[in-house]
Amino acid sequence: MPTAEPSFAIQASAGESRSADILVFAIPFLQWVQLNVVGVLYASELLLVATFVYLVFTRKLELSKPIARQFVALCTTWLVSQVVTDFVRHTAFSDYARGWSKIVMTLISFAVLYVLLDGREQRLVSYGWGLVTGSTLGFLIDPGQWGREYPWKFGMSFPVTLGAFLLASRKNCARSWPISISVIIGCINIAAGARSRGAVCLAVALYLLISSPQSQKRDDIPKMKAASLVAIIALGALAVAAVLWTYQYAARSGILGHAAMVEYEEQSAGDYGVLLGGRSAVLGSIPAIYDSPILGHGSWARDPTYVLAQLQAMAAMGYENTSAVEEEELDEGYIPAHSYLFGAWVEGGVVGAIFWAWVLILAVKGLVRTYLSNTLLLPLVAFCAVSLAWDILFSPYGAQQRIIVPFYIVLLMTHVGIARLHVSPLATAKARAS
């Protein structure tokens, strides 16, 4: 059976390979070392930049797959669009320095991780454990304001959940364990206040439940794909409804604690319930996008008009405490955009939105194509793909995401290719015949 080709075109010596293995773990591990230089700069990023420079000068920075070159082209176009927007909008240096560095670091992180990780499952796992240990250590050393107030949601939820899926992807893990682990860690996250991550874990459990029997019946790919997609959509809708109902009951009854009960009552008081109440920033970002859909408003865009627009829209829909906005928040006036896609669109225009839409499609393709395979890291791939899709739509981009998201993307690119190699020749022949 053929195997995925490594990214290095030049054969590395045993010593160089061991050094690369250490580097793969060290990059995410060192995120706990932080510097305040026009925003927060992580030691992980300094190491990524140094590695990037080395790869360029040694001519080892090769992007072997067309999909990797597409990513770089789209991300570069996003950067150019952001630069143009900031010049037109006369963005302050401190803002555009952070905005440009965010995109540049995304490019550098992806290029380095693609060369080091693509086609190397053991290194992908090692990088994952580096993220687990580095995130944990970073939280213990300096949890920050949000980490102190919500230690699980903004502290231990990510490393514990990622570690659980790394364990679920081990070779000696029984077939049913990944599903059980996904359900257990999902329930823990919801109970501890990390609702979105808990929902992601339960969605992964459903995905693994559907994919498990499919991996034993690969003799009719076209029918299996159609049936599974319909099943995923239908069961996914039922799962979302079940999770919302369960959380609603647990929060209102006080099972999750007084803070969770108060938060739920506030976010669900409006006409569209907790789905909009928990992600109300969209009510500010959509008017901003409407006012400047092509050009955008500039890096770290400020305009209190859109903050007020969000609050007024929430009040009109019946949500409570919409007048309790802090004066500091109005003074700063950052345009609300709790989404990778909307944030890039607000700041850099439609080109930024196109880039994240392309990444979102990649995540969906990864789920659709990988579920037919017996790839060892399927639980991890599913978690990263679902997490990426959720974050593109509902989470802000920045901070540690610059070293996490490129890892997710390289993992997906690797396993979309490997999944094709795991399909039996008989299945391939039947698929072509149809």
Report the C-alpha gap between 283 and 276 in whole angstroms: 9
For the residues of 116-164, what is the DSSP string, one character each? HHTT-HHHHHHHHHHHHHHHHHHHHH--HHHHHHSTIIIIIHHHHHHHH
Residue 16 pLDDT level (bands cut at 50, 70, 90): low
84 domain-assigned: yes
Residue 279 located in a structural domain: yes
Q: Is 308 part of a structural domain of the chain? A: yes
Judge whether 5 lies within some domain: no
d(CA 288, CA 305) in angstroms, rounded, equals 9
Buried b (16+ CB within 10 A) or exposed e, 243-255: bbeebeebbeeee
In a domain, 411, yes or no: yes
Q: Quote the CA–CA distance of 31 and 45 in Å, as a whole number.
A: 8
Domain-located, residue 245:
yes
Model confidence, pTM = 0.86
Residue 24's closest CA among 141, 137, 109, 135?
109
* 3 falls within a domain: no
Kindly report, residue by residue over 144-197, the tens digit of the pLDDT. Answer: 888 888 899 999 999 999 999 999 998 877 678 899 999 999 989 988 888 889
Between 165 and 249, name the one with better pLDDT: 165
Calpha distance 280→270 (Å, rounded)? 11
What pLDDT is stored for residue 214 in this prediction? 46
Alpha-carbon span 390 to 362, nearest angstrom: 13
Percent of the chain exceeding pLDDT 70 equals 72
CA-to-CA distance for 98 and 105, rounded, in angstroms?
10
Q: How many structural domains comprise the chain? A: 1
Domain with 342 in it:
14-433
Average pLDDT, the chain: 81
- C-alpha 428/C-alpha 414 separation (Å) is 20
pLDDT tens-digit series, residues 77-96 = 999 999 999 999 999 998 99
Which pLDDT tens digit goes with each residue over 313-339?
A: 887 777 766 555 666 666 677 888 889
Residue 167 burial by Cβ neighbours in a 10 Å radius (0-12, 13-18, 19+): middle
Tell me if 192 is assigned to some domain.
Answer: yes
* Token pair of 227 as six digits: 């049936």
